[in-house]
């Protein structure tokens, strides 16, 4: 596994040269440095263009952007875009939905992944356990567009499976795609379906790393399975749980765009519960052409998200340096 990102463990073969030559260490090392830099160059340029230039572009949030004038030609407007954004109900709605849904995802995802990992651990020696893992893992590789087809197959008001079941039991069919109040639940299910396999593999790896001697000792003392889980497994993987949860909290301001855009089929009637910062930014930018509004919301997300990542990392570092991002 990777250790602290900035401190790879290998020994350092340092050149033994004077202060001046140490910079490049003679002609041979100069050549090495040149070659290595040349190798890195395409990647450096790609990151510059696709990662760093957009960071500079964040100043758009303080401008009245007009396509014809470009980034630098457009007029500065100070905080007007933010005043406009936070003057509407939308800012509150997208913030609440993003935080609320991501919190639900973190809690349900963690609990479900843990439970599955514990169950998998119990039957790990069985030949079928490999098939469980495959079945649970595969949804992670299905794109949200396809998931939206799946959900549609279940929830479509006229032909969907769920309404067939409801009417079979004498209930009234529900127009799922028109009723916002059901969507937190539907999105949570979709998210769980997509991510539980992935999460459980990480936890299972953590559980399998526990020294079997603990369990042997517990068995001799007559501990039941549940007691072993309660007093050995859970305490020993607690740091891993805390770290993973903290890292997800660091990303809590970023919603999974595909999930929130495709699965509810971008239906305005569902916005009260499904509109998140990412979908709002996309809609304002591409569909409504309201670039200032999109830029303000995007800036808000980038900056708050950055602060949250730093905070989360700070906490993780206090628990275990190895798991910190930096």
Partner 1 sequence: MTTTAELQTRPTVRATVRRPFNWGQLVVHLILSLVGIACLLPMLLIVSISLSSEREIALNGYRLWPQGFTLFAYEYILQQPGQILRAYGVTAFVTAVGTLSGLLVCSLLAYPLSRQDYIFRRPLSFYVFFTLLFNGGMVPFYILMTRYLGLKDNILALILPYMVTAWYVLILRTSFAQLPIDLLDAARIDGAGEWRIFFQIVLPLSKPVLATIGLFFVLRYWNDWFLALLFMNRADLYPLQYLLYVLMTNINVLASNPQTVGIPIPVQSTRMAMAVLAFGPALFTFLLLQKHFVRGITIGGLKG
| Interacting residues with partner 1 between 120 and 179 (CB under 8 A) | 120, 122-126, 128-129, 131-139, 141-154, 156, 158-161, 163-164
Tell me the closest approach of the beta carbon of residue 265 to partner 1, in angstroms.
Answer: 7
Binder to partner 1 among 100, 107, 111, 205 (CB under 8 A)? Answer: 205
Work out how close the CB of 321 gets to partner 1 at its nearest, in angstroms, rounded to a whole number. Answer: 13
Instruction: Single out the residue of 91, 232, 270, 294 in contact with partner 1 (rule: CB under 8 A).
Output: 294
Give Cα 231 to chain centroid, integer Å.
30
CA–CA distance, 124 with 118 (Å, rounded to integer): 10
Q: How far is the CB of 117 from partner 1 (least distance, A)?
A: 11
Position among 84, 86, 182, 282 found at the interface with partner 1 (CB under 8 A): 282
Q: Which is nearer to partner 1, 84 or 154 (CB)?
A: 154
Binding to partner 1 (CB under 8 A) within 185-204 occurs at 193, 196-198, 201-202, 204
Helices (H), 180-233: 183-208, 212-220, 225-228
CB of 32 to partner 1, least distance (A): 6
Q: At its nearest, how many Å lie between partner 1 and the CB of residue 140?
A: 8
Binding residue (CB under 8 A) for partner 1 from 21, 80, 184, 258: 258
Count the Cβ atoms, other than its own, within 10 Å of residue 228: 15
| Residue 64: φ, ψ to 5° | -95, 90
- H or E element: which one contains 63? strand 63-64
To which H or E segment does residue 248 belong? helix 234-250
CA atoms within a 13 Å half-sphere pointing along the CA-CB vector of 13: 2
Q: Residue 248: name the closest of 97, 116, 104 by CA.
A: 104
């Amino acid at each position: 596994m990777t250790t602290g990102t900035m401190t790879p463990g290998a020994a350092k073969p340092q050149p033994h040269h004077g202060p001046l030559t140490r910079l490049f260490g003679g002609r041979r090392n100069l050549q090495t440095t040149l070659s290595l830099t040349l190798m890195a160059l395409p990647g450096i340029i790609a990151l510059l263009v696709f990662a760093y230039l957009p960071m500079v572009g964040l100043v758009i949030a303080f401008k009245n952007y007009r396509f014809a004038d470009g980034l630098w030609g457009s007029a500065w407007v100070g905080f007007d875009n933010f005043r406009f954004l936070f003057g509407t109900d939308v800012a509150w709605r997208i913030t609440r939905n993003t935080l609320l849904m991501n919190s639900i995802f973190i809690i349900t995802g963690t609990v479900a992944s843990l439970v599955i990992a514990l169950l998998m651990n119990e039957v790990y020696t069985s030949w079928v356990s490999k098939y469980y893992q495959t079945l649970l893992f595969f949804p992670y590789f299905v794109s949200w567009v396809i998931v939206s087809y799946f959900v549609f197959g279940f929830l479509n008001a006229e032909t969907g499976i769920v309404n067939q079941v409801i009417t079979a039991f004498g209930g009234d069919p529900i127009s799922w795609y028109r009723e916002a109040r059901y969507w937190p639940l539907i999105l949570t299910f979709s998210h769980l379906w997509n991510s539980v396999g992935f999460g459980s593999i990480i936890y299972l790896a953590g559980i399998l790393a526990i020294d079997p001697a603990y369990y042997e000792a517990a068995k001799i003392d007559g501990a039941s399975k549940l007691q072993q889980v309660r007093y050995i497994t859970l305490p020993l993987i607690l740091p891993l749980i805390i770290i993973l949860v903290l890292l997800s909290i660091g990303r809590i301001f970023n919603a999974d765009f595909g999930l929130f855009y495709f699965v509810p089929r971008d239906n305005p009637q569902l916005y009260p519960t499904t509109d998140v910062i990412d979908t709002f930014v996309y809609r304002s930018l591409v569909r409504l052409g309201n670039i200032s509004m999109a830029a303000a919301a995007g800036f808000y997300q980038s900056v708050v998200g950055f602060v949250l990542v730093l905070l989360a990392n700070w906490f993780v570092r206090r628990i275990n340096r190895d798991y910190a991002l930096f």
